[in-house]
Amino acid sequence: MFTKSLTGALKMALLFFPPAIQALLMQVVSLLLCLSLSFFLRGGLSSPPSVFFYVIVQAAIAAFFAFIAKMDWWWRFIQFFFPVFIWGFLLAGIPSYYYLAGFVILALLFWSTFRTQVPYYPSKGALLPVVLELLPKKESIKFVDIGSGLGGLLLRLSRVRTESNFIGIEIAPLPWIISYFRSLILRSKVQFFLGNYEEMDFVDYDVVFAYLSPVVMPGLWAKVKSEMRPGSMLLSYEFIIPGVEPDLCLNIAENDPFLYVWRI
């Protein structure tokens, strides 16, 4: 009963925050609880617990909060190991500018992950022949990758299907910059844009390719149904649309995720 009440209270308190902000708030509350515990134990024990004890307590509390709030499983691991790693870095005496450099790189790579809940997933080269086989033969098509990352798939596709138009959109600045300059260096016709696919219109595209996250798939399907033309196609690598049966499930390679195909 207590756990259910606590779960309900946590969900209500965190309802309007994205997962990254929820995780931060949980860490803050866990830290405050640990500080309160340290003041309580300081007067009652002849030998107070070590700092490492409180680090583990904070980690356990934060992971417990993530568990009862029913956050995705990886958040529970992040919540536990975050304070442990911070404590370890402080002990190691790492210069502060390394933290700044790491923060800048991660911010450029995972720019809006905290809001979109779509992390950076690089696609594999094994996708190329499978995707090529799905494309209409001997006719020009318009193909968009709505999380194009470093642009590898589009650059390879464009070398084979020279008559077609390939567009990539990426929300994270660092992968977009890399893909943009790769296109320039290779003199490719692929166009890479910095932006959010949710703000574009799918009506002009014959094929939409997605390698996103389970969280956004229901919203993506709603957008596809309202904007894509009959005869067009949605490809999703690894992630399915809940409650929507794909027309094809293609095994890319042994132990690799499936490529799911929906014909509109």
Average pLDDT, 10 consecutive residues per value, the chain (264 residues): 53 59 86 88 75 91 88 80 86 76 65 52 71 90 93 94 95 87 95 94 96 89 96 94 93 82 96
Does 211 map to a domain? yes
Claim to verify: residue 230 and residue 180 sit in the same structural domain: yes
pLDDT, residue 68, reads 85
Alpha-carbon distance of 150 to 11, in angstroms, equals 36
pLDDT, residue 55, reads 92
Element (H, E) at 260: strand 258-263
pLDDT, residue 2, reads 46
β partners of residue 165: 142
| Contact (Cβ atoms closer than 8 angstroms) between residue 202 and residue 228 | yes
Claim to verify: residue 219 and residue 167 sit in the same structural domain: yes
Claim to verify: residue 155 and residue 59 sit in the same structural domain: no
pLDDT, residue 175, reads 85
> Residue 85: which domain range?
2-94
Q: Structurally, how many domains does the chain consist of? A: 2
Alpha-carbon distance of 227 to 151, in angstroms, equals 24
pLDDT, residue 230, reads 95
Claim to verify: residue 45 and residue 142 sit in the same structural domain: no
Does 10 map to a domain? yes
| Both tokens assigned to 191 | 């166009």
